[in-house]
Each structure stands twice: as structure tokens, then as C-alpha cells.
Structure 1
């Protein structure tokens, strides 16, 4: 431990989370892109997460405000990016996420698909794949937004099936459409448009779009690392490597370009903050929040011990390490919540944060129930506590 380094206490880390993640009422965001930028990116694997994460950080507005950002203004866009996971980011940040992370994922996706085509033995190759992609784009240009099923109906090539793992125990016959659509999306040539059904649906329509401007990968990684450090610092190389999915070499190169300052934490560990960001963080007013599964404030670090009691982890995470719906009080996870079939938002505390916390949490639960209205939310990744609460 280097006692000469500035100390950032656990309390100050929680102050930072409340203020910088715009969860305290006095610092909530006025726009959806601001709500995304404050945590760099919103998880989008589960359709409802984008909406509920943005809602928790906005001053006002219902689901239609977030739909407008996604599908009309296109000020918020989804990309297959960090950790090969779907995220929603503000449009100005998207080229940096694309160049730093999504490009490498798209290249790997293409190599994998071409390998499968070659192994299938139907003579499908890179030229065939290029033709199938162009036919899909032409169909979108002609008919407008379409689901995967509608694209398959319009493009004969997308109705083909290939065999994976031929001759092996796991041999399977599978359609090509989903893989071609995934590749076009990873390349930024199509994007998700309004789904069929409500905002909770994942049955997206697709639209043809222009790829993001090309940026140098190292420059883009430095930009993304700098933004992440401002949102999540103090944090470590391991935290950034986990969050991005980058190699440790890329993490260290990006951080070197940022030039972070080292600080010490209460447990004696050394962490990093943005250059000059070593001063005390003013405490926000007391605040409570009900955040959805996969919310960035719960998924931003590999080591979450400053805001989560390790004893509570089994109740709040699934077997794969995905966090479920959580209840927060002043920068600490104190419980979990769920929505029952009748629309009631129910919650359970895993500690005793006090009467003021319980009153604030009850108020937030009511506010969330009003916001949801007739919508019903079932997390894609279900956790033990969430299942218990709806049973």
C-alpha cells in the first residue's frame, strides 16, 4: 500500500456512483443520450433493460421518449460490442465503440460463418455470402423495415440450411438467415428498428443503414477507456478488461493514452481515476433506485465489493454472473425487486438500511409501477430472488 497516494473512501465511491451515474434525483439526465453517456453504454441484450436503465436516470418521460431516441431521432443505437454483448450507446459515441470493439467482433463473426459454410459442403463461399448480404439489403431498400422472418421470405438465399458439426455428436441442421442478419448488424450495415409488439419485445424489424465512420482502433480504445474511467473510476485494469473484453495489452495501451492518476482505496488496493480526478466527491442527497437486470451500475466492475455485500450475490445473480433487478440505497445494493403478473412491483431487502431507506424505496417502487403501466417485465436472465418474489 502506498500511503502517499490520495485516498478515495468507499463512501466517496458511492457518492460518485450516485452523482455520475445520474441516479440521485438532483442529477438526473434531461435526455436519453445523456442517460446512456453517463454510464458509457446501456446493456441491451434484454429489450426492457435499455428502457428501465434510461428511466432510472431521466428527469421525466415515459417509454415513448426512449422509443423516439432509438427509432426516430436515432440518437441512441444498439451495437454488438463489449464482451460480444449488445449495448445501446449515444450516436456520437457509436463510431468509437464500433472501431474499438465491434469491428474485431464482426471480423471474427465473418470468419466463423465462412468456416461453417466451407464445412457444410454445399459450395457456399465468400462470394455466395456477399450475394446473400446484398440481396437482404436490397429487400430492405425495396420493402422497408422487416423482421428476420420477413427477410427470409423475400430472399431465397436466407432460407437455406447448413449442417454444423457434421459427423459429430452435436451435429445440427440450422437456418442461415439469423447468422447473415447478425453479421450485417455487426458490420453496421443494418440496425434494429421498432419491434413487433410493445417496447418489451425483442422481435425487431431491421433497416438498411450506413456503416459508422472508420476510426483508428487505438484512438477509439483510448476514447472509450477515458469515458469509462470518468464514469467508473476508481477502477482497475482488471475492471476495464472485464468490461470491454479487450486483451490486457489493449487495456494497458488505452489507459497509457489516457494517463490516469493512481489512488488508494480503503482496503489498501491501488486503483485508477481520470487525470486530476482525485478530489473528494460531494455527497448527493439521499437516494433510492430500482434498477433492472444487467444495469450498468451493477455490471460496470469485475470487483463490485464497494457497493455489494458478497453474501448477497447468490440471491441477485444468475449462474452465469448476470445481475438481476436490484434495489439501491445511497450507492449500495440493499435488495432486489420484481414485477408480479398483476403489475405490482414487489421488493425485498437483504439488510437493514433503516426506515428512511424503506420509505424512499417504497416511493421508488410506486413510481416504477406507474411508469410501467400495463407493461409486464420478466428479466431474460432470472435470478433466485426475482423468482421468489414473483412466485
Structure 2
């Protein structure tokens, strides 16, 4: 029914599709018994499943870039890859952008069985390298370590950014003592402050639009100045837009400030 509604409209938001297919308004209780349990309509989750099955694609949002009302369209015809080939290609891209990674990292990130991970590693010719936490893997063209000198750098990354979410073992860039204020109860990481390749704090946009940040580790005067400059660039880029995080973390909520009083 949903596919028929999309086909008739060409593209549409979940709310628009629910006008044509009322069953999309069905409410289900997700994560019962958890702190984050909630009643939600099935529309968004169904559309995501259809997307993962390669049957629909998500287009641009309705309104500004901060809108969560995305348009959906039917997926153009495309060839289906065999499962093993698809897994190998996904793993190749993963190592190419976020390598090296351990076998445990890859199993956690993909949700595959260990046998699937090992088969895909063999298919892409992954090379084993020694990491502080044990054996890791890189693509054949990334065996040699990067030797070019780079200047220390600062960055403010958004919540759920692939950099902090890309590995199961995070101690090499996120000290365990800094984790509690940066994650929500479901394991989602919030906005983070980085200094020279490691997470050093967090940030948030206040309800007044001001970008506020806090360091949880000592980065020295140079690091603090670089973080401040990075926050200023982010402030200029965001402008008048207001971004509401979907996953709230303790530090993000504290920095964002209390909700406005109801009149």
C-alpha cells in the first residue's frame, strides 16, 4: 500500500503518505520497559525498512535543512548484488574511510557473524596490522603508516557523527572517564569537541542559538584557543538556524539550558 501511494504521488512525506494509506498511522510501543520507551507511528520505521530493502529512496526534506520531514520516492531500477559481494564492498568502503579496525569493531558495526566478517576481509585482501588493542585490518594500499607531520587541530562534530561511532573499542580516542556525560542511555553519542585526534569535551546549541562548549580534559592554552576558534566558525555557519538533537545526552542538555517556561 505504501509503495502504491508513493508511486501515485511521485514523492511524498510520511504524513502525506498516511493520508493515502491510513495504516501508516498505526501506533506501536517501542522498547517497552526501557527508559526511552515511546509510542510511535510505524510510518517512519516502515519507510526505513523499505529503504534498506532497496525499494524506496529518501530525498530532500520539506522546508529547511533542519526539517525532519523527508520526501520519499520509489527506487530506480538497479541490479541486485549477491550477499557475499555486497558484504565485501561494504567492508571495503568501511576500511577505506575508517580503517584500521579490529575484527570485533567490524562485527559490532555490521551486525554480521564472525564468519561473514572474515570472509569479507579475505575477499578485499585486508592486511593485518598490529594495534594497541590487538590485531587490526587495513586495505592493501593503506599498510604504510602516515608519516607526514600534521599540525594539531580542533573540531566540533555533531551527535552520531561516524567518527566517534565507528568503532566498538574507543579508548584510543575517548578516555573511559569522559564517556558518561557524552552518551545517552541507548549508547548514542552527542555533540563532541575534538583536539588533535581525541575527544576532549562536548558542545551544544543553546535555545538562544549560541554554541556553547565545555572541555572535559586538559588540552592546554593552544588547544582551548583552537576549540574556541572552531566554535566561532560553527556559530557563523549555523547562523539563525536552530538544531534540535534527536538524542539528548547529559552534557548536551546541560549546555543547551533549561526549557523555556510555559506561559
Q: Secondary structure at the match of 2:142?
A: coil
Identify the residue that residue 137 of structure 1 maps to in structure 2: 6
Q: Identify the match of residue 364 of structure 1 among 223, 227, 230.
A: 230
Unaligned stretches of 5+ in structure 2?
30-38, 258-263
CA distance in structure 1 between the partners assigned to 2:184 and 2:41 by the alignment: 30
1:250 counterpart = 2:116? yes
Q: What are the superposed Cα offsets for residues 34-65 of structure 1, whole Å, 9 maximum, x if unpaired?
A: xxxxxxxxxxxxxxxxxxxxxxxxxxxxxxxx
CA distance in structure 2 between the partners assigned to 1:136 and 1:367 by the alignment: 43
CA distance in structure 2 between the partners assigned to 1:265 and 1:152 by the alignment: 50
Hey, which of these two has a bigger chunk of helix by percent?
1
Structure possessing the higher relative contact order (Cα contacts under 8 Å, 6 or more residues apart): 1
TM-score under structure 2 normalisation?
0.84
CA distance in structure 1 between the partners assigned to 2:24 and 2:75 by the alignment: 25
Q: What are the superposed Cα offsets for residues 245-274 of structure 1, whole Å, 9 maximum, x if unpaired?
A: 22212111101112222222235x222222
How large is the RMSD of aligned CA atoms in angstroms?
2.5
Unaligned stretches of 5+ in structure 1?
1-131, 166-172
Q: Identify the match of residue 140 of structure 2 among 275, 278, 298.
A: 275
TM-score under structure 1 normalisation?
0.58
Q: Secondary structure at the match of 1:200?
A: coil
Task: Map 1:50-129; keep pairs closer than 5 Å.
Answer: none
1:298 counterpart = 2:167? no
Q: 1:312 deviation in Å?
A: 0.2
Aligned length: 247
Q: Identify the match of residue 229 of structure 1 among 91, 95, 109.
A: 95
Task: Map 1:71-220; keep pairs closer than 5 Å.
Answer: 132-141=1-10, 145-155=11-21, 158-159=22-23, 181-220=47-86
List 4+ stretches of structure 1 deviating above 4 A.
159-165, 173-180
Q: Secondary structure at the match of 1:284?
A: coil
